[in-house]
Amino acid sequence: MTELKNLGQELSRFRLRIFAAAGFVLFCFSLLAARLVFLQVFKHEELSTRAEANRIAVVPIVPNRGLIVDRNGVVLASNYSAFTLEITPSKVPDLEQTINALAELVEVQPRDRKRFKRLMDEGKSFESLPIRTKLSDEEVARFTAQRFRFPGVEIKARLFRSYPLGAVGSHLIGYIGRINQAEKKLMEDWPDEDLANYRGTDYIGKLGLEQAYEKELHGQTGFEEVETSAGGRAVRRLRSNPPTPGNKLVLSIDIRLQALVEELFADRRGALVAMDPRTGEVLAFVSKPTFDPNLFVDGIDADSWRELNEDADKPLLNRALRGTYPPGSTFKPFMSIAALNSGKRAASTVIMDNLTFSFGGRTFGSPESDRPGPKDMRLAIVQSSNVYFYSLANEMGVDLIHDQLEPFGFGRKTEIDMQGEVTGLLPSTAWKKRAYKKPEQQKWYAGETISLGIGQGYNHFTMLQMATATSTLITGGQRYRPRLVREIEDVVDHRKRRVASDALEPLPLLPEHVQVITQAMHGVTVEGTSRAAFAGAAYQSGGKTGTAQAIGLRAGEKYSNIKADEYKRDHSLYVAFAPVEAPSIAVAVIVENAGFGSTSAAPIARRVFDFLLQGQYPSEQDIALTQKGQTTAPVGATRPIASVPLPGSAEAVAAAASAAASAASNPAKAASAGAKP
């Protein structure tokens, strides 16, 4: 039987479905329209900014680092541009395979791989890290042609720091290096403005003036707005704000004098500080041995670092700033001014010097070269009498010595414009209580005071402190904070800002007391221990030699027993000033383990004075003998300063090449020249 359909009911049902479907479609379109209105109207500004950010990349432009020049304009630190091949590890699927493939296009040495791995360990995977630096034009062309094969690898133009004179003044200038994780953490505490200025900056000053004047040298970072494609490649530049280069540092240092002193030291260890006592400006700041700061700019390799770090001569130690030494007899003029200033002893007081001083059952002796007899203060300084100053130290006591000499800068920082300075040690009873834990060690024994009088015992100072104290003494108490930077020049408007050495409150020294000491020190150069070194000088100078024990001797041990060990020999010291009538130079110098101050340290000071006061550069023969500690007064014909090329300069390299070529063409003549005394 056939079932009849209800057409009216079916039609009604169909219409209902049509309306439901239409309603659903309308509802969906309403949602889309509402979303469109929300995005286009209410979120327009935010989304527009986001889209613009996706389209436009803001790229920081690192500024040129400021130059460093000496007082005469000789460039000590500059910049040059070079291409680097860089990898962003997070964008590279197989890092090892990528590096191996790159090595087929450009040279990638094992040290490059090691440096890259170290940078990865220190940095983050999304940072661009160099696998090769200073690419040649040919290498750049080879990679560019194959760039499509290496996602996450790109060539960048980077600025590199250059130190044209190499190792000359390396401890003074310092160096820059890649910012490490510890430095990044410290930078997080910087003000937002300073932190923003280092966007894109990978390198920072690590040592010396590069570190101390980092913010002056860095400059202001610029930016560039670049339109990018969907793939992130730059399409066109929209606008830019150029960076402002860092300021130029003009030093008070005379780099030719610096180079001369470093040459006179040769392979010996030591330090020298020469300064103008009238202003506090430092003229030479020498620490030997030196190192080549160019090794650190590109990231020093492990072998070079190990060689520097494990060297027994410690070439990375800034001895002028951080090396502390017993001052030996160079301390005696300061003991004398302390005695006069405190009223403990008059200049005319005579002490009988029998070459020994007994105290508490112990006998303190004198060098075999000392002469016995009655001595007043002047003669005690000229002849460097130990007994005179043993007895003076005993009379004054450790705390009076400390209170009188601490204002000269002993045992505290000079606050020179460089980081890392140490305080040295000027002992006192309060210091010993702080320094030791056991009660028996905290007690100061009277016998410990005796050796302080001749600059031994606990006394330990830097050559910077010795030079500063000498300056204070010879100027009658005028004190300055020593300074290495003379001017800061703005490279935009070329305005120069003078960096004056801060004048401190003068010490209350009586002129007649100062005259006693300075005349006695002048006597040292005329009739005393440095007379041979200053024979024939066209100016009058004052000085004091010193010979300080590098180590203490055990009971029953004689100095002759340790002479064979170079590092245990006595240090050679000299403090000096010139001219006597109006001092313009003060010098403190130490040659480690070189013996008597008169044979090694004083001859170097003489040549510093000849350079600054007479414009004389020593002969090659004289330099060779001074390097061996075999000179006193200069020998050979002196040369005009300007005629001698700076070590490391293009002129010096050319001269060395010419000399080598000449020697190769005439070996007999070269051998004959080398045999001359």
Burial 502-516 (b: 16+ CB within 10 A, else e): eebeebebeeebbeb
- Of the candidates 617, 630, 578, 562, the one whose C-alpha atom is nearest the C-alpha of residue 266 is 630
Task: Identify the H or E element spanning 533.
Answer: none
Active site residue 329: yes
Report how far residue 137's alpha carbon sits from residue 142's, in angstroms, rounded to the nearest whole number.
Answer: 9
Task: Identify the H or E element spanning 84.
Answer: strand 75-87
> Which is it for the CA torsion 414, 417, 419, 420, positive or negative?
negative
> Other CB atoms closer than 10 Å to residue 376's CB: what's the count?
18
Cis peptide before 289 (omega within 30 of 0): yes
For 314-356, where are the alpha helices, taking DSSP H only?
319-322, 332-342
> Other CB atoms closer than 10 Å to residue 28's CB: what's the count?
10
Which pair of structure tokens corresponds to residue 635?
């020998």
CA 32 to chain CA centroid, nearest Å: 67
Would strands 222-228 and 56-61 be described as parallel, antiparallel, or unpaired?
antiparallel
Report how far residue 303's alpha carbon sits from residue 388's, in angstroms, rounded to the nearest whole number.
Answer: 52
Would strands 485-489 and 68-69 be described as parallel, antiparallel, or unpaired?
unpaired
Helix (H, G, I), strand (E, B) or coil at 235: strand
- Of the candidates 308, 297, 298, the one whose C-alpha atom is nearest the C-alpha of residue 114 is 298
List the catalytic residue out of 170, 252, 287, 329: 329
- Of the candidates 481, 486, 496, 67, the one whose C-alpha atom is nearest the C-alpha of residue 251 is 486
Report how far residue 587's alpha carbon sits from residue 261's, in angstroms, rounded to the nearest whole number.
Answer: 12
Report how far residue 408's alpha carbon sits from residue 73's, in angstroms, rounded to the nearest whole number.
Answer: 33
N-to-C CA span, the chain: 142
Helix (H, G, I), strand (E, B) or coil at 606: helix
Going by C-beta distance under 8 Å and a sequence separation of 6 or more, which residues neighbour residue 378?
347, 516, 519, 520, 523
For 443-590, where are the alpha helices, taking DSSP H only?
446-450, 463-474, 511-526
Burial 443-468 (b: 16+ CB within 10 A, else e): ebeeeebbbbbbbbbbbbbbbbbbbb
Helix (H, G, I), strand (E, B) or coil at 489: strand
Helix (H, G, I), strand (E, B) or coil at 283: strand
Task: Identify the H or E element spanning 294.
Answer: helix 294-297
Report how far residue 124's alpha carbon sits from residue 180's, in angstroms, rounded to the nearest whole number.
Answer: 11
> Other CB atoms closer than 10 Å to residue 517's CB: what's the count?
24
3-state secondary structure 152-173: CEEEEEEEEEECCCCCCCHHHH
Report how far residue 452's alpha carbon sits from residue 461's, in angstroms, rounded to the nearest whole number.
Answer: 13
> Which is it for the CA torsion 446, 447, 448, 454, positive or negative?
positive
Active-site residue list: 329
